[in-house]
Structure 1
Amino acid sequence: MTRGFSLIAIGALLALTATQTFAAGDPARGKTKIATCVACHGQDGNSVDPQYPRLAGQYADYLAQALHEYKDGQRNNAIMKGFAATLSDQDIQDVSAYFSTLPSKLQGLENHIQGD
């Protein structure tokens, strides 16, 4: 009986942790948090300058991971590190969700890969 209860308690704890860790972002809230992003990435997430990535239509998980990596220094870009440092985990989820909902104008990688 005690072992069964322990397994249930562990399962419940894991479920709560997973829910908090992988909370989905809210695109509507994300739209209100992109003021600093639009200067480089464009209002619609489709930067016209090839030095800035197009964010529109990217996977939310990818965008969130990239922002976390800028924030903790795994990705080395002083400008993005500074912007990402101001974002909470929920902000990152929301901004990522917002950009993922936008239509991308990127048809291919031609002229969008450095060195071309």
Structure 2
Amino acid sequence: MKRVLTLLSFGAVLAVASTSLLANGNVENGKQKAATCFACHGVDGNSVDPQYPRLAGQYNLYLQRVLHEYKDGQRNNPIMKGMVATLSDQDIEDVSAYFSSLPTKLDTLKGHISGEK
């Protein structure tokens, strides 16, 4: 029994440590830094216009990757390239933390795919 408790305690410590190591970005700073994003993506990250993706609830690391891809030109979108041009790595982590922390309202793709009627 003692061994089981020791293993459980060790597992809990590892889980907490790995969560803090994987958690990056500051949600509150991200909300401030994301102010220019709100016009298209909404303050709550749930854009009502299907031409703009809903960012709320997306995976943090996915959002970071996409923003870096816009910044370095791997994704070709002149509007987004301009929006991310001045963002530092920390800014990208913070903005991603903010949008990934929000609850999504996307329960279906109906009406949210560009060009779909």
TM-score by length of 1: 0.78
Counterpart in 2 of 1:55?
Answer: 55
Partner amino acid, structure 2, of 1:108: T
Return 5+ residue gaps in structure 1 as ranges.
1-21
- AA aligned to 1:25 is G
What is the DSSP-based 3-state SS (H/G/I as helix, E as strand, rest coil) of the residue aligned with 1:36?
Answer: helix
User: How far off is 1:111 after superposition?
Assistant: 1.7
Number of equivalences: 95
Shift of 1:108: 1.5
Aligned-partner SS, 1:96: helix
Q: 1:36-64: per-residue Cα shift (whole Å, max 9, x none)?
A: 10010001101011100000000011111
More helix by share: 2
Residue identity (%): 72
Corresponding residue for residue 46 of structure 2:
46
Answer yes or no: is 1:94 the counterpart of 2:94. yes
Residues of 2 paired with 1:23 and 1:103: CA distance? 17
Match of residue 17 from structure 1: none
1:12 — aligned with what?
none
Unpaired runs of 5+ in structure 2? 1-21
**Corresponding residue for residue 64 of structure 1:** 64
Partner of 2:81: 81
Q: Is 2:106 the counterpart of 1:112?
A: no
CA RMSD of aligned residues (A): 1.3
